[in-house]
Copies of this chain bind each other. A is one copy, B any other.
Amino acid sequence: MVGSKPFNLSLYKLALKHTSVAEDTVNGLKISNERLEYLGDAILGAVVAEFLFNKFPFRDEGFLTETRSRMVNREALNQIAIKIGLSKIIEKEFKGKNLSAHKSIYGDTLEAIVGAVYLDRGYDFCKKFILKRIIIHFDVDGIITTTSNFKSKIIEWSQKENKDVDFQTLSVSGNPRFKEFHVHLLVEGEVIAEGKGSTKKKAEQDASKNACEILKLDI
């Protein structure tokens, strides 16, 4: 799965030891993959950050940050782990024990594997592994579509529900060169969400995002 023979196989074995199947050692410490998961999470975050930085040279940091958090969230990583067949290996490791209580186990283990690859082979190899074996499975275009259009989602919703939606700029703070806009999003004249941003557009986008969450709109 990693695409090359491991130098240190025990790292990969450890990566598969979820805390729920880990055994206590004599001194009461549990040997599990949680530390590898912590490390892998950080390395994955860095590689995904650079991937988006290069892929979208004209998008701002708000867009990049939001897209990244959608790619490295637990649910997205669970899906990838299933796609690449990691879930099969994990199920074997659990030897028939009930997995349903640990929904995040696939994504957790995927991160732990990234941590193991990083320790075993270093950053550059691990980066290639992440790009070729993980990021390739992301529907990045699908993700960015939903990242970009919270406001249009709200407008669409308001038309379907026949509700009146309005944005009000509450305040603009800062100085002429470094502004912060603070807006309210109103539905039928009532404030349901607020947002902030360095431009009016960004603040409205932020408020729309919060409104999508409050209204539980699928995005």
List residues of chain A with CB under 8 Å of any chain B CB.
19-21, 29, 34-35, 37-39, 41-43, 45-46, 48-50, 53, 58, 60-61, 64-65, 68, 98, 101-102, 118, 122-124, 127, 174-175, 177-178, 198
Query: Are A61's CB and B35's CB within 8 A?
Result: yes
- Tell me whether B19 and A35 are in contact (CB under 8 A): no
Q: Most B CB atoms within 10 A — which of A35, A64, A65, A174?
A: A35
Are A64 and B35 in contact, CB atoms less than 8 angstroms apart?
Answer: yes
User: A177 is contacted by which of B21, B45, B46, B118 (Cβ under 8 Å)?
Assistant: B21
A49 & B38 in contact (Cβ 8 Å cutoff)? yes
Given known pairs A37-B61, A123-B123, A124-B123, the reply for A175 and B50 (CB within 8 Å) is no
Rounded to whole Å, the gap between the CB of A96 and the closest CB of chain B is 14
Given A123-B124, A178-B20, A46:B42 Cβ within 8 A: yes
> Which chain B residues border A38 with CB–CB below 8 Å?
49, 53, 61, 64-65
Determine the main DSSP class of A at the interface with B.
Answer: helix
Q: Which residues of B contact A118 (CB under 8 A)?
A: 50
| Known contacts A45-B46, A101-B178; A60/B35 CB under 8 A | yes
Given A19-B198, A98-B175, A102-B178, 8 extra CB contacts under 8 A: A35-B64, A38-B61, A41-B49, A42-B45, A42-B48, A42-B49, A42-B68, A101-B178
